[in-house]
Structure 1
Amino acid sequence: MKNYHSIIIGKGEPLIFHPAAGFSGMEGLNIAENLADHYECHLLDLPGMGKSKGIDGRVTIHKISAWLKDYIELHKMKKVTLVGHSMGAGVAMCFASTYPHQVNKIILLDQGHKNIPRFPTRDFGVFGYVVPIFSLLERTFGDVFIKRIEKLFIGTPKEVTSEDIEKRVVDFCTRFQIDRSEYIDKAFREDAPFTREGLRFMFGYFRMNLPKLLNNITAPCLLIYASFEGFDQKEANRTKKAVAKLRQTKNIEMFQIKGQHYVHWGNNNCLDKINQFLAVEKKSSHSQKKKASSV
């Protein structure tokens, strides 16, 4: 496995997209194509949760920042715009809070305003009840503990058929009540291997204080968050409370989307707001070349 794997689309100023857990960088394809006339968009796989090599040892904010800094230096970028969704937003926030002088702007998609639940059952099902304990044991015993539990999270690799992908796409769109699109199909078709290092990355992410990281960001920041109203009232109430508690700063702009977690797939207003924040015109109709990069 190479240190980094990314898909690069467009020409212009450098922009790096970081996906949610379970997806490769291809999750940001619709954003990249939308900005391709103005930005060179790098759709970068997360460490150990795609085709990018994982981070060795216990994962910390400093290690995540250093991982991304190495990628930026490898591509000879000076300052970058960062876009991240869910766990990918955590990566962007780590870097922006550690190396603020290297960030032009940062866009967070439904992440940063809420603390990660102590028992993240919404994301992990019944395993969410043991994640805090597993996180503590992973932090204490490291790879020795990870080797004991990795099969619970990673499982045995098996061939994925087109029928399997079709079912996953249908179930996903049904769960999040969003219309199916070519971008969702392409994201599900792109392999995102989950490795032992990815499991340690997940626990490192679980330990982050996201609102604190958000308040440490000094670059112009756009937080596009889902209301969950009409979809999940419990999460809608939690979102309202979290937004009300946020310290209001001049550099952070909040924008609410009516919908659920995948704001960039569920509502066209998301792309319009990104264009407005980055002060770019609507993308022209001509296609952009796409290339893969593994370094």
Structure 2
Amino acid sequence: METINKKLRSQLATLIILIITGIHATAFGQDYSFAVEKIGSGKPVIFIPGLISSGEVWQSTAQQLADDYECHILTLPGYAGQAPLSDCPYLESFKLEILKYIKENQLKDVQLVGHSIGGFISMLIALEDKRSIQQLVIVDAMPFFAQTFSPDMQTDFNEEAAKKYMKTFEGLEEVQVRQYRKQVAQSMTKREEYWDKMVDWAMQSDAKTEAYSSHEMLGNDIREKLRDIKIPITVFAAHDENPDFPTYTKQAVEETYLAQYQKAPNLQLIIAEGSRHFIMLDQEEWFHQQLLSVLK
């Protein structure tokens, strides 16, 4: 009898851990390709990370909101160790499954917070669901990012370019790939403690998902469609002074983002000074305060 009780206690402890952490691909009894961690209670906020990033990038932010909001932190399929989808198109699949998640779990007045490609996906979701989504918070993302560095960028999916990107890693030793990934991480955030984490997330990501989902975004221009998103859109744009790029001023950042979002009827632009791409890490306390104000 004592052995049985110990077994039951062990099983119960395991169940409690799963309920508390919620770090698995099942939420509210439904299976999804993305992982979900749910913390807090109140109005729902869904956090979508950027390319090949773990939902961990949102952990500190969600903890700050947990007293007043029910935070749903996603890790997308194929990113940071999450099993990939069987085939593309990836962004369309991500969008549809998050819409399914919102509908099946009867989430209302949802506020979407998306970083980078997660911000782009948030806009796609808002274009589709005009009843459940209350507000968008976009962190350093644009409706047609490719146009900022290539005015002649084609506006459809360039599979050859995606395959070419994948081939850049072929023949490289793991140490070389890690070195490259580390350089990218250093350019993305000043937080040194995240550099190795980002390298690990990249190494654990599916190569095709990374290449194809990023190029799907690059070939998708939704600037004109923003006129159909009537809900508030708050955009956080990163700016960090760099002597190697003297023309990359705060004013230049503001002008670029306002041009990209000029069709959005209900826009607020906030410049995060002294921050690289991962604003929520580089300006953590400032971002928490700004986000709380926006959500309220």
State whether TM-score is above 0.5. yes
Q: Equivalent residue for 1:256?
A: 271
- The answer to whether the Cα contact below 8 Å between 1:4 and 1:71 also exists between their aligned partners in 2 is no
Provide closer, same or farther for how the CA distance between residues 24 and 213 of structure 1 changes in structure 2, counting only shifts above 3 A. Answer: farther
Of 80, 93, 101, which residue of structure 1 is paired with 2:131?
A: 101
Does 2:101 align with 1:71? Answer: yes
Question: 3-state DSSP class of the match of 1:83?
Answer: strand
Distance in 1 of aligned mates of 2:143 and 2:67 = 30
Question: 3-state DSSP class of the match of 1:273?
Answer: helix
Distance in 1 of aligned mates of 2:156 and 2:225 = 23
Question: 3-state DSSP class of the match of 1:272?
Answer: helix
Distance in 2 of aligned mates of 1:174 and 1:197 = 22
Single out whichever of 99-108 and 49-58 deviates more from structure 2.
Answer: 49-58
Q: Which has the higher contact order (CA 8 A, sep 6+)?
A: 1
CA deviation map 1:203-246 (0-9, x unaligned): 21111225335443221221111134446445447524323424
Does 2:254 align with 1:273? Answer: no
Q: Equivalent residue for 1:54?
A: 85
Question: 3-state DSSP class of the match of 1:247?
Answer: coil
Q: Which runs of 5+ in 1 are unaligned?
A: 121-130, 139-144, 280-295
Give the drift of 1:184: 6.7
Matched ranges for 1:128-277 at <5 A: 135-137=157-159, 151-152=166-167, 171=183, 174-176=186-188, 178-180=190-192, 192-230=204-242, 232-236=245-249, 239-245=253-259, 246-247=261-262, 251-258=266-273, 259-267=275-283, 268-277=285-294
Query: What do you get for the CA RMSD once the two structures are aligned?
Result: 3.8
Q: Equivalent residue for 2:65?
A: 35
Provide closer, same or farther for how the CA distance between residues 159 and 210 of structure 1 changes in structure 2, counting only shifts above 3 A. Answer: same
Q: Which runs of 5+ in 2 are unaligned?
A: 1-24, 26-31
- The answer to whether the Cα contact below 8 Å between 1:20 and 1:85 also exists between their aligned partners in 2 is yes
Provide closer, same or farther for how the CA distance between residues 248 and 109 of structure 1 changes in structure 2, counting only shifts above 3 A. Answer: same
Provide closer, same or farther for how the CA distance between residues 134 and 73 of structure 1 changes in structure 2, counting only shifts above 3 A. Answer: closer
- The answer to whether the Cα contact below 8 Å between 2:45 and 2:111 also exists between their aligned partners in 1 is yes
Q: Equivalent residue for 2:28?
A: none
Distance in 1 of aligned mates of 2:248 and 2:130 = 31
- Matched residues, percent identical? 20
| Larger radius of gyration between Structure 1 and Structure 2 | 2
Q: How many equivalent residue pairs?
A: 256
Give the drift of 1:3: 1.6
Distance in 2 of aligned mates of 1:242 and 1:118 = 8
